[in-house]
Structure 1
């Protein structure tokens, strides 16, 4: 699998309450998206970014990072071949991504995602 970008997913009780710290204080003032349960904030001047997550909308477990790839189907096949636990099956979500969640051997849940063109 080729990782194009990795985004930290920080668990927060409320995106709007947490927003001022990350957007204002840390300077991640560009709100790339906000779906209520997940929002991504980025620096307008660098590659720094973070996602704030209250809970995953469709997966039974939350992920600690999101790994963006250009071949999510291939990554899914490889994860299954290697015997990794699939926490959330390969799905095209209504908000415009194709993804699956997999448990790393250390127990962390990782969101493997590709954006549709």
Structure 2
């Protein structure tokens, strides 16, 4: 398994208010994800981004980071083998992501994810 990208997930009480702060004040571009509980703001020149979420749609708690990987099934098997706490089981979500949540040392919850082609 190889890590492709790491994204900060910030829990906010009001998505619209938070999105306005990051776009109007910091000049980031809003990227609509088509979901009512999460949005992304992007640094125009570099593509770096932050995800803003009110609550995770299916997970029992909000993650602090999303780690995109090239093989989420391998990551899940490795996390289980190493005895890490699985907070949300490996799931193929309707919005095109296959993911699970794992608790890292210190209690931080990570969303380990891979884009998924629903036609597979």
TM-score (ref. length: structure 1): 0.94
Given that 1:7 and 1:51 are in contact with CA atoms closer than 8 Å, whether structure 2 keeps it comes out as yes
Question: Once superposed, which parts of structure 1, at least 4 consecutive aligned residues long, lie more than 2 Å away?
Answer: none
Question: What does 1:27-46 align with in structure 2 at a 5 Å threshold?
Answer: 27-46=27-46
Query: 1:22-79 CA deviation, whole Å, 9 max, x = no partner?
Result: 1222221141524121111112211321000111110111100000011000000000
Distance 2:26 2:34 in 1: 18
Given that 1:30 and 1:43 are in contact with CA atoms closer than 8 Å, whether structure 2 keeps it comes out as no
Q: Which residue of 1 aligns with 2:74?
A: 74
Q: Which runs of 5+ in 2 are unaligned?
A: none
Q: Which residue of 2 aligns with 1:108?
A: 108
Alignment partner of 1:24: what SS?
helix
User: Pairwise CA RMSD of aligned residues?
Assistant: 1.2
Count of aligned positions: 117
Distance 1:34 1:9 in 2: 17
Q: Which runs of 5+ in 1 are unaligned?
A: none
Distance 1:76 1:41 in 2: 28
Q: Which residue of 1 aligns with 2:6?
A: 6
